[in-house]
Amino acid sequence: MATEKIPHRKDVPDAHRWDLTPLFAADASWQEEFAAVEDRLKGYARFRGKIGDSAQDLKAALEYHLAVTRRLERLYTYAHLRSDEDKSNQQHLGLYRKAVNLHTRASELSSFMTPEIQAIADEVMETFLSDPVLRPFRFYLEKILRYKPHTLGEPEEQILAMSGEVGQAASQIFGQLDNVDLNFGMIVEEDGSEVELSHGNFMTFLLHPNRGIRKQAFDRYYRAYEALKNTLGTALSCSIKKDFFYARARNFANCRAAGLFADNVPEALTVNLITTVRANLAPLFKYFQFRRKALGLDTLHFYDTYVPIVAGIEFRMSYEEAVAVAIRALKPLGSEYTRILAQGLAGGWVDRYENRGKRSGAYSSGCYDSPPYILLNYEERSLNSLYTLVHEAGHSMHSYYANHNQPYVDHQYTIFVAEVASTFNENLLSRYLMEYYRDDPRMKAFILNREIDNIRATFYRQTMFAEFENRTHQLVEDNEPLTLEQITDQYRELLETYFGDAVVIDPALELECLRIPHFYSAFYVYKYATGISAAIALAERVCNGGKPDRQAYLDFLKLGGSKFPLEELQEAGVDMRSAGPVEMTVNHFDYLLERLKSEIDESSLLMQGK
């Protein structure tokens, strides 16, 4: 029987890889720039003790620092992209580690700057900020001044800067284990052929119509985590303790407050999100019950929660076809948006397919001086891959517009608004597909099913993840030992809450918390839930409004990081401080479920318990 194996990086055609030459022509060019930037670091010394002498001196120091940072980001971007192509490539891992180390040294040598800026008397700083020479840096400086209660003296800041590389140890260990060392084995298909199980195709197997194959993939996948659960549990525990260390060191009330501070997001926003979602789990339970009945099952397990409930639809779409669909779906955003995106997706922005050792999942990444690159593990048999492409395209176009409309000092938008741009695109794709298949009730039901599952995964599931982060960090803050048992017990309680009696919780699912990369970037996941809530509200405005609504959205993308995220969203037309967008998402989920029910003819569409 045929055996399908994942290719090595050297066997991937150039046309399927991203083009990193806009960053550096080759590794040798990177090494030359590395040496030049490394030599440049010693120039920080001439600004020490002089930042507060005048507005002009402050300007000179900021310009020097931002110029170094810009070059560092270019080095880091190239190194991390090359490393993510193949995590087993030691040469590129070496470049990545050198880039991280150089960034740590730069942070150490520039660590005097923030305390010196914050030491400037308020009345003097007010005079400085009114000087035209500092006008381009006003918001940048205001953000630094916000941290005044959380900034230490120069020696302490230097020590914290020196700890940066060590602080990433838990995340690095998890990344190597998860992307390189785990072996999931082979899956035996119905025809007897074998396919190697991987991060990239795990979801494809969960979409398989044969329940036995779904269960086989689920069991094999989590067997690998079972074998390493103690190591992974320790890595996660150490990462959370690292968060607590930095929160305490910087005088924050708790880890969550520290995690939300940079975005100027009140803790009440995440509390209200969790409270509102918990109070509105009934539509989710109703959907699970409907899914169980539609699949003809006595009990619903996790490995039954992704497979389409509509029978007989085999999705297959090449990458090139997916790009064409994406461009048509995003037409409401105008010809300029779609033209730029089409050129990037067909050109060198995207690393398309899985190869051995490649980082799992997908992301958009880049810097001010590069294209907005996209890493994919595109799978032609998965509708999710089409949605992932459109999702990451949203991030990349956000970066494109921000970089082309803001100076370097203000270009970098926050993750909070980033998740709006990506899920907004997914919403437009669903709208397009529903219209495209308007005369095909089976396909419409298929798309509705997928849209419901997307909201479930992005809204309900990520809120559950956010609650897990709150709980585990609270345990550490209360000086409780965060053992593997504590971690999995907390996670199981949440699984039981968010699945209710509608889904059987298999013991292996308790280990899911050990495989989520975002838990190593704490207090990030809630932004998926708020992001999709804002995106649903904004998509409704753009698709049903006029040109001013579209322009307001495009202007929002162009803002980059020139304002705090909640202010930027208000300008786009949505207030995330209110419960309205979250409640709208719950209602939208329930509406889609009722619409799905109305589209389905049980005698012809359902899978009848396969």
Residue the block writes with tokens 């709150």: 470
Contact predicate 492/277, CB 8 Å: no
What are the Cα distances from residue 16, in Å, to 83, 105, 479?
17, 36, 49
Alpha helices (runs of H) in 51-192, residue ranges in sequence order: 55-85, 90-109, 113-119, 122-129, 138-146, 154-162, 164-167, 169-176
Phi, psi of 350 (to 5 degrees): -115, 135
| Calculated CA dihedral for residues 292, 296, 298, 300, nearest 10 degrees | -30
The neighbouring-strand residues paired with 306 are none
Two tokens, residue 317: 């779409």
Q: What is the CA radius of gyration of the chain?
A: 25
Assess contact for 552 and 572: CB atoms under 8 A.
Answer: yes
Nearest to 233 by CA among 526, 510, 521: 510
Determine the Cα–Cα distance for residues 259 and 513; give it in Å rounded to an integer.
Answer: 19
**Token pair 């585990």 is at which residue?**
472
Spatial contact of 176 and 87, defined as CB atoms under 8 Å apart: yes
> Helix, strand or coil for residue 260?
helix
**What's the angle, vertex CA 203, arms to CA 239 and CA 343, rounded to 5?**
90
CA–CA dist 270, 265 (Å, integer): 9
196 has which bridge partners? 186
- 505 burial via Cβ count (<10 Å: 0-12, 13-18, 19+): middle
Amino acid sitting at position 11: D
Q: Which residues are catalytic?
A: 392
- Yes or no: say if 161 and 236 are a contact pair by the CB < 8 Å rule: no
Q: In b/e form, how buried is each residue of 361-384, taking b as 16+ CB within 10 angstroms?
A: ebbbbbbbebbbbbbbbbbeebbb
Instruction: Please tell me the distance from the alpha carbon of residue 336 to that of residue 405, in angstroms, as a whole number.
Output: 14
